[in-house]
Amino acid sequence: MELESKYELLTPQFFADPYPTFQRLRAEDPVYWDPRLRMWFLVRYDDILSVSRDLRFTAERADHFGIHADSNVRDKLEVSSRFLSRF
């Protein structure tokens, strides 16, 4: 059985214009678990800031998401990981 996601977060349409989806997430599901991607999404600044400064969370676990990504995506993920590891 394939798990259904409430939001289409991997479609070309999302990547072309993610802002309507983010606006909907902020309004309806600011802390969202995606069952297909098996990961949490936080879309409000205060939530992201709180989690990024909380030592109970680590950016190291996220490193595996970019292993098979295109090189330009891996570069962006590396920048994010460096930023999060400073806290």
Q: What is the pLDDT of residues 38-67, one digit of tens each?
A: 889 999 999 999 988 887 876 555 555 556
The predicted pLDDT at position 27 comes to 96
- The mean pLDDT of 8-23, rounded to a whole number, is 91
Q: What is the pLDDT of residues 64-85, one digit of tens each?
A: 555 656 677 677 777 766 665 6
Give the residue with greater pLDDT, 24 vs 11. Answer: 24
Burial 46-78 (b: 16+ CB within 10 A, else e): eeeeeeeeeeeeebeeeeeebeeeeeeeeeebe
pTM reported for the whole predicted model: 0.60
